[in-house]
Amino acid sequence: MPLDDPESMNIVSHILANSDLRRMQSYLDRGRRFRDLGQPELHERYIEGMKVWADNYGHPDFCELSDDAQAEYSLRKVDPPMELVEADINRVTEKLRQLTAEMTAERAIEINDDLLADYDRSVAKGN
């Protein structure tokens, strides 16, 4: 899926938005645990969650804390403090670069096909 054409960018945007909605729904279904936190405490949870996620990138069990904090920011219509987790984001970016460099062409095609199938299912459902 080349990212230099508008249709591909629409597909990627749709996939990301759908992923955000699933995370948000999961957070709400589990009781919105950060609802009563003040902004400083939410920032602490976000920073902690991003560090745990970056330390354990590739293991989905370790992203709930950061996902929940991001969902709470979204519900509050506030951007998370990305500048406070820049080092963690850079570590994940480097891990992604390594994984991409080591990926076979066949695996890249498989991932691309999976993403397109998810997109097609989502569009068929009217999302």
What is each CA distance from 32 to 65, 72, 76, 109, in whole angstroms? 12, 8, 12, 37
What's the pLDDT tens digit per position in 8-67? 778 878 777 888 898 999 999 999 999 999 999 999 999 999 999 999 988 888 899 999
Cα 12 from Cα 6, distance rounded (Å): 10
> Can you say whether residue 112 is alpha, beta or left, with left for phi > 0 and alpha for psi between -120 and 50 degrees?
alpha
Position 126, amino acid: G
For residue 3, what pLDDT band results from cuts at 50, 70 and 90? Answer: low
Query: What torsion do the CA atoms of 15, 72, 24, 98 make, to the nearest 10 degrees?
Result: 40
Find how far residue 68's CA is from the centre of its chain.
11
For residue 98, what pLDDT band results from cuts at 50, 70 and 90? Answer: very high
